Amino acid sequence: MLREQIKRICVECGLTQKGLAEVMGVKHQRVLDMGTGRVAKLTREEGEALIRKLHVRAEWLATGQPPMLQSDQERRAEEVLGKVGNAAQAASSLGLDRETGRRVSEFLFYVSAGSAEAARRALAEMTGLSPDEAVLLDRYRRLPKKAQETLLATSALIVGEPLKPKKTKKITVTANGGQAAGRDIVTTTKKVTKRG
């Protein structure tokens, strides 16, 4: 059965036996032996290479029952499962508790799938922020310091909270008489409140 399958894979995928050997990551002689019947079974790695790289159905490799190639839906599912597996592996390598690991894995999956909105939602779930709150926080962090202060003051006014006063310093200035710039200075004590 393997002999016929190897020939059919080459025909359907437009490959030579040498090209198939490259896809499978084996020596050309190994594929020649499969094509002549000297090798009766694929190794696990060889089968996985055919499934992953050429989208050959595992069921067809095992039983010979058609269809030989995965449908588009099966290919997308395989791709998603691969991304989920990669994300789960990356998350587990961080040594996180189970729930945090699940959330990180979900976030990494959406990032690898290129779904910015879903990644934003997953990140917001991890931080406890809604998606809108996460966007606002991101924008706030990118603002210059002065703009951040203005935004905080504006938001306080909108929700009806009093503005937080800036720190004040009290300075006492005393002049003891004398001259400065050709003028007499009268002794004075003045309290000045300085913001800032």
Q: Token pair for residue 134?
A: 């996460």
Map tokens 């603002």 to a residue: 143
The whole model's pTM is what?
0.47
Q: What is the pLDDT of residues 25-68, one digit of tens each?
A: 999 999 999 999 999 999 999 999 999 899 999 999 999 999 99
Mean pLDDT value across the chain? 81
Q: What is the pLDDT of residues 53-108, one digit of tens each?
A: 999 999 999 999 999 998 888 888 878 778 878 888 887 888 878 888 888 888 88
Give the residue extent of every domain in the chain: 2-70, 74-128
Check if the beta carbon of residue 170 is closer than 8 Å to that of residue 192: yes
Could you please state the CATH topology (level 3) that the domain comprising 2-70 is classified under: 434 Repressor (Amino-terminal Domain) (1.10.260)
Judge residue 19's burial from the number of C-beta atoms within 10 Å of its C-beta, 0-12 exposed, 13-18 middle, 19 or more buried: middle
Check if the beta carbon of residue 108 is closer than 8 Å to that of residue 98: no
**Cα–Cα distance measured from residue 10 to residue 147, given in angstroms and rounded to the nearest whole number:** 64
Higher-confidence residue: 128 or 181? 128
